[in-house]
Chains A and B, each alone.
Chain A
Amino acid sequence: MQKMSLLGDEAIAQAAIDAGMSGMYAYPGTPSTEINEYVLASREAREKGIVASWCANEKTAAESALGVSYTGKRAMTCMKHVGLNVAADAFVNSSITGANGGIIFLVADDPSMHSSQNEQDSRFYGKFAMIPILEPSNQQEAYDMVHYGFDLSEKFQVPVMIRITTRLAHSRSAVARKPAREQNKLGLPGNLRQFVLLPGIARKQYQALVDNQPRFVEESEQSAFNTYISGKDHKMGIIACGLAYNYLMENYPDRKVPYPVVKVAQYPLPEKHIRKIYEECDSLMILEEGYPIVEEMIRGLLNLSKPIKGRLDGTLPRTGELNPNIVGAALGMPQEGTLEIPSLVAARPPSFCAGCPHIDSFIGLNEVIETYGKGRVFSDIGCYTLSATPPYESINSCVDMGASITMAKGAADAGLVPAVAVIGDSTFTHSGMTGLLDAVNSKSNITVIILDNATTGMTGGQPSAALGKIEQICKGLGVEEDHIRVIKPLRRNHEENVKVLREEMEYNGVSVIIPRRECVQTLNKRMREKFKEKAKAAGK
């Protein structure tokens, strides 16, 4: 079959389509977004009747995928690393229920925090849930591992995690496809209580998971993705995980590393390989993208073993993404001087697009907040988080999806007046609704601004689950109708909008203001498509 040039994300999506997946569920989050986008745009996927959906959040996505697995069919759920925090309840418990049809949790980590609020390493979650983890080092492995991952999931009736990082997610390379596999037929679990985690059943299921651990290790040892590569110089052995293997190889143009190397791309760690390299070599170097999880395991708390170099002893930086230079320096390769960045080069941080509705919302908000003094605006995750930067400097928090409303509630309970929450439409239905219910129930004095741009903007304009529903949701949660105010954020409405904001901040209770205007990016896209269709129609 002809090779395709695919992003890591796209390779995973194509593999899922080819491997007989029946359902894909996700909430957009960089760097995982392109996976579901690819499936949604794929004609092949449509023809095969694959269900692909954007869900309200990662937890609902993961649970839907688990529901597909229950029926015996294959499912994948995709999220960014912090999305797994949201889905953690479903994720960890799904390791106890186990799988029926193959299920893959695809989690994309973001070391160096290119587009995230932390760089947590999802391999910890995989280990915590005690399930196999696959960590591809390139696009082809990413493709192959989806096929293998589904098989593995069905073989052991356990969910499988595939962990990628930004660099692989958003890097393109040629990928060879495998022959397509049919989807599984509907088939209920042999034991209809498998998914009923009542304590009595859960204890048995958990024991089965624990009993399977040595088998997972065996599987890792036999896996073609984990390899032992001999080397003559036994002064050091290198354990290179996932993408780090490439950076190691980049430092040897002939691809011949003088030291023994264990390439790790499947966990639990292949004990035999690790034992062998440890016994053969005087010291070890651990190269891994993310947290020093493998290093910690091999080193142990007391560090009584042979010398182990990595992120913990300072051989490699403790934080941030690896690259060929960092790995080269760790290997003691001479790092030649390079040209320098001229001092006049200024930072160019991301900013609001020209014409963005958020600009008008924050100019209005800033004017009202000036009356009270800064430091009263809790915000959330989305394009509007850019209002933390000059010239706006409007917001004082950005923690996790939905935290704006609940943090404002806590601050209001503690006596902060006014306490303002700023949240986007998609983030509101992702994780804001329950917090608003809390605020209504305890009659907290908060002003919630739901910036409704009718899309999930930051990740590239995916549909918003909140579309056309926000007022009804707020009403249903018990916000008084008089205090649900819709405004249109435009420069010419400034005075009027400021008045509404001021009135609601003065109101002692829960009020919701909805500045509503479509994202300029999706508007432009829509207009372009409309224009194209018109031109097409005219051409006919």
Chain B
Amino acid sequence: MKIDIILAGVGGQGILSIAATIGYAAVEAGLHLKQAEVHGMSQRGGDVQSHMRLSDQEIASDLIPKGQADLIISVEPMESLRYLPYLKKDGWLITNTKPFINISNYPDEEKLMAEIKALPNHIALDADSVASELGSVKAANMVVLGAASPFINIDFEKLENAIRTLFGRKGEELVTLNLNALNTGRKFSMEAQK
């Protein structure tokens, strides 16, 4: 078993929380893990990405070779496209559709969505709205992770457990919010695939 994931977003959007959740679940599942993060300058509102590799065998490179990622999980629509060269031809792209606009030349949203929808395997959802309805837009990243979860070959309960552990010390309220976000995202994804 081997799964390579590109996590994408804008500095400050919480892709490292997604990474930590998958990472915790993967270690629980006894998998090898390598996860390259971006720290430093780009965290100031620039594009950020994380290469996350899980395998039952030892992993060599911290970076995913181009054309080999099984999944792109993005919390921002334009950022989801930036890493397409890494995606396998039959890989899946899971993205939030809510743009994060902090540049003056952000592309036309309709054209952007058309690019995403042109991909054979994609799940696109407005995770910000879903999370807001559940109580806080801050859980948007967990909605996106939920939507990606059917494609991640780890028991769903392990992802839930990871959230309980990682958000546990921040209070029960946050745990519930993030678990709801995860489940709602997952449900959306299952429906979309039917």
Contacts and interface: CB of A to CB of B under 8 A. Distances in A.
A47 interface: no
B63 A353 contact: no
Contact of A173 (B34, B41, B45, B47): B34
B35 interface: yes
B115 interface: yes
Interface string A248-267: 01100001000000000000
A350 B45 contact: yes
Interface of A: 3, 5, 7, 30-31, 33-34, 114-115, 167-168, 170-174, 243, 246-247, 249-250, 255, 323-325, 328, 335-342, 344-353, 383, 386, 458-460
Interface string B124-164: 00000000000000000000000000000000000000000
Contacts of B36: 167, 170-172
Interface string B18-59: 000001100100001111111111111111000000000011
Given A5-B27, A338-B84, A459-B40, 16 more contacts: A114-B41, A114-B42, A115-B40, A167-B63, A171-B36, A171-B37, A173-B32, A173-B34, A246-B61, A247-B63, A249-B61, A335-B66, A336-B67, A345-B82, A348-B79, A352-B45
A386 B79 CA distance: 21
Contacts, number: 148
Contact of B41 (A255, A323, A338, A458): A458
B46 A349 contact: yes
Contact of B33 (A7, A168, A173, A347): A173
23 contacts: A30-B41, A114-B42, A167-B36, A168-B62, A170-B38, A172-B23, A172-B33, A172-B34, A172-B35, A173-B59, A247-B60, A250-B65, A324-B63, A324-B65, A340-B84, A342-B84, A344-B78, A344-B112, A347-B47, A347-B103, A348-B102, A350-B42, A352-B44
Nearest to A333: B65
A25 B43 CA distance: 25
A117 B32 CA distance: 35
B193 interface: no
B191 to A, nearest CB: 26
A522 B155 CA distance: 38
A323 B60 contact: no
B111 interface: yes
A344 B107 contact: yes
Contacts of A249: 60-61
B173 to A, nearest CB: 11
A350 B46 contact: yes
Nearest to A80: B40
A31 B62 CA distance: 16
Contacts of B78: 344-346, 348
B111 A344 contact: yes
Contacts of A247: 60-61, 63
A539 B66 CA distance: 51
A33 B37 CA distance: 14
B182 interface: no
B34 A171 contact: yes
Contacts of B41: 30, 114-115, 350, 458
B189 to A, nearest CB: 21
A345 B33 contact: no
